[in-house]
Every structure is written in C-alpha cells, then in structure tokens.
Amino acid sequence: MVFAMKLRLLFVCCAMNLMASSGLCSAEVMDDDNYVREIKQGSAVADIKNNKSNTIVNESMVLLWPDGAPQAKGTAITDQPALTIHLPKAELANGTAVVINPGGGFSKLASDSEGLHVAQWLNSFGVAAFVVRYRLRPNYEPSVALLDAKRALRYVRDSAEKFGIDPDRIGVMGFSAGGRLAAAVAIGSDEGDPTASDPIDRVGSRPDFSVLLYPVVPEELIELVSPSSPATFFALTHEDRTVSPKQALPLYEALLDNGVQAEMHILGRGAHGTGMALGDPGLGQWPALLAQWLRTRGFLTSVERIPVTGTVSIDGEPLYWGGITLIPEDPNAPIVWTHARGEFNIDVANGPVPGPHRVEVNILSRDMSDMASGRYSMESIEHYTKASPDASGPLMVEITADKEIQISIVSK
C-alpha cells in the first residue's frame, strides 16, 4: 500500500498535478490452463476464468478473439492475444481512450513500465487505457503482432459505448517494437471489411491520434503517409543506442510534408526502454508534455471548437503586439493562444470551445518601428490577468459562436 501511494504521487507529478486516480491493482495471478486473473481493488475482487464472454470489469483481461486467434499455433497464453482494460473513475472519465502496445523487441513484453504504469497514469486524468498482449517470436512474426494490434483498436472502437468512450477519440500508443506496431496501425490503417461475419472486423482500424515512444519505424511506412494520417506525438532520447532517434525523423518529415499535425520531443539524456522514466528530471518530462498535447489538440473533450475574433486594448489603445491566452474552466478543454495586434482571429481548427474562459495578455512589444536600433520599447515584462489592478477576480470572457470578444485592460 505504501508503494502504491508513492507510485500514485509520481503519476500526479507527471500529469502536471492533474487529479490522480485511486484503486491500484494490488495482486494478480495468472493460471496457464484456465486463464484465471484475480484482481483486488480495495474490497472488490474480479475473478475472470476462461475469459470467453469478454465480461467488462475494470482492470480485467479480455481475449481479442475469444474463439481462437487467426494463425494461432496453440492454446497457451502466448497464443492468445488479449487486452487488459483500465477504466478511469467515473467522475474523471472524459471519453478519450488509448490502446497501448508495450515494447520488448517482439520477443517479450515490457507490460509493467510500458503498460500498467502508463495506463494508470492515463486513468489519473480521465483517459481509458487498454494494454495489448500481442503475439511474439519465435512462434509469431511482427506481421502477426500487427494483426493483434489492429484488432485491439477495432475491439475498443466496437465496444466504445460499453466502455463509455468516444469512438472518435481513440488513440494508439507504442514503445520501441510496440511503437513500430502503433506507427503501422496509424499509417497503414484500413476502414474494415463490411462483408466480414465478425462485426469487430467491420470496424475501421484508424486511430484518431498516435503516440510513438522511441519507436522502431520501418522505411516502408514513410511512403504510406498521407494528409489523412492521424496527428502524432513523438518522444525520443538523444542517447538511445538501441533505436536511434534518427529512425523517427523521416516519419516526422513525411507528416510535416503532408500537413499532418505532429509534435516531436528529443530529450537529451536517457537510455532505451525507460517507459515513463519515473523520477528522471529530464526524460520524465514527456508524460506531462503528452498530457498538454492531448488537451491542446482537443482530444480530451467531445465539445466542438469554434472560430473566434476579437479586439484587445491596453489603457484605451489597441494592443501593439502581444499574445492572448484563453484558458477554459473545463480542465479537459483546449487552452488557446494567439498573437494579436489590436485584433485577433483564430480559425476553427485552433479555436476554443464555447463557454467561460480566463484571459491572460502578454505584451511582446510596445513599438517595433525602430527595431534596427536594438532599443527596448518596454521597461519589463508586462503580463495581465485582470481587467485592472483593483479588479477582484481574473479577467473572464464568455465565448459563444459568432460573437466577437472584446478585451479591455487598464494597466494602472
């Protein structure tokens, strides 16, 4: 219990002080013959035996093909691809889901550091997580593991209503070899087979976003990138000697060339296979960066973004040049930032959601008419969060469709 409490604290730090979930798995036993998994959460015990009914229980395991997986060479656990389900507490759930593919060089699965830990961290800010157990060498090649990874995403989307998730906000995540699977699922997705007898096979395998952690990226994937490829987040390390960060650069460049939103972080220090890098002051930043990316890109809410126009004045004069931040009361809705020179215009792709927002204004310059001289036009940083020094609360605006925002600040 002490260990679980410490682990939760680390998750909270990584999620930028987002609320942490409780109820960590404290015991589990797997029986090779009966596929028994016993999970204790407080006083609740979920006992799943011969799991062919795919009963939905938080932190339970379900078989991806209850009646036997295609190309299976036996009936052992390693012949039966599965998902472990991690659902967030109901009061935190935001409808987003991530299918996680742990790494391990296609010969093993790093299911703790690249599965369990990540799933429980995602749960801490309302995201449902599903950890894949895909088939491995020497009995199965990566092409079979890819079948399992695609099936996992189809399964989650097909079961979206039962899990309380949005079928249009399902992402795929992968570490190392699992990153290869996640990239292949994202870039080489399909719309499903409408003639399939299995309803899950009729569901498309395209994720709505992908998260690639020190991934192995095959060259053949690069030519498959298109403008419809999903937005992608990368986290790599400069010191990775197992999978060079150079492997991911062509994929990032292809996404850039095709106009696909992508964000890449190459952290200076850190070895391969560190998972969330809990406790590492450098590499351990990537989870917080991912959480912010998910929020900024609008993946944590189903509320539609809208375009916004507005004006900004300081002491009765139009803002010369500055930045405007719109911070919603909804902790899952995107924070929006834009440049402004008296006026601003934010398109729908980058706009806020309707509702109350806190406003912050940063002046970047008061005069750029003589920039060649190198002279300052300001005495110091100017950052405004209230309409006036005497205002009792923060500067707020109500954002609604087709209504211009007027921001007026008195500095003294």
- In this prediction, residue 40 carries a pLDDT of 26
- In this prediction, residue 299 carries a pLDDT of 98
Q: How far is CA 119 from the centre of its chain?
A: 11
Whose CA is closest to 153, among 126, 176, 181, 117? 181
- In this prediction, residue 58 carries a pLDDT of 60
Burial label for 2, CB within 10 Å (0-12, 13-18, 19+), is: exposed
State the average pLDDT over residues 354-370.
Answer: 96
Share of the chain above pLDDT 70, in %: 86
Could you please state the CATH topology (level 3) that the domain comprising 2-296 is classified under. Rossmann fold (3.40.50)
- Express each pLDDT in 191-238 by its tens digit: 999 999 999 999 999 999 999 999 999 999 999 999 999 999 999 999
Going from N- to C-terminal start, the domains of the chain cover 2-296, 308-409
Locate tokens 């699977």: which residue? Answer: 181
- Res. 10 pLDDT band, cuts 50 70 90: very low
**Distance between CA 262 and CA 279 in Å, rounded?**
26
- In this prediction, residue 118 carries a pLDDT of 97
- In this prediction, residue 30 carries a pLDDT of 31
Quote the tokens at residue 300: 């944590």
Residue 26 has pLDDT above 90, yes or no: no
**What is the DSSP annotation of 287-305?**
HHHHHHHHHHTTTT--SPP
- In this prediction, residue 46 carries a pLDDT of 29
Among the listed ranges 7-11, 118-122, 179-183, 300-304, which one has the minimum average pLDDT value?
7-11
State the average pLDDT over residues 362-378.
Answer: 94
Residue 31 has pLDDT above 70, yes or no: no
Task: Write the CATH number of the domain with boundaries 308-409.
Answer: 2.60.40
- Res. 112 pLDDT band, cuts 50 70 90: very high
Mean pLDDT of all residues belonging to the chain = 88
The dihedral formed by the CA atoms of 181, 187, 192 and 193, expressed in degrees to the nearest 10 = -90
- In this prediction, residue 59 carries a pLDDT of 67
- In this prediction, residue 9 carries a pLDDT of 40
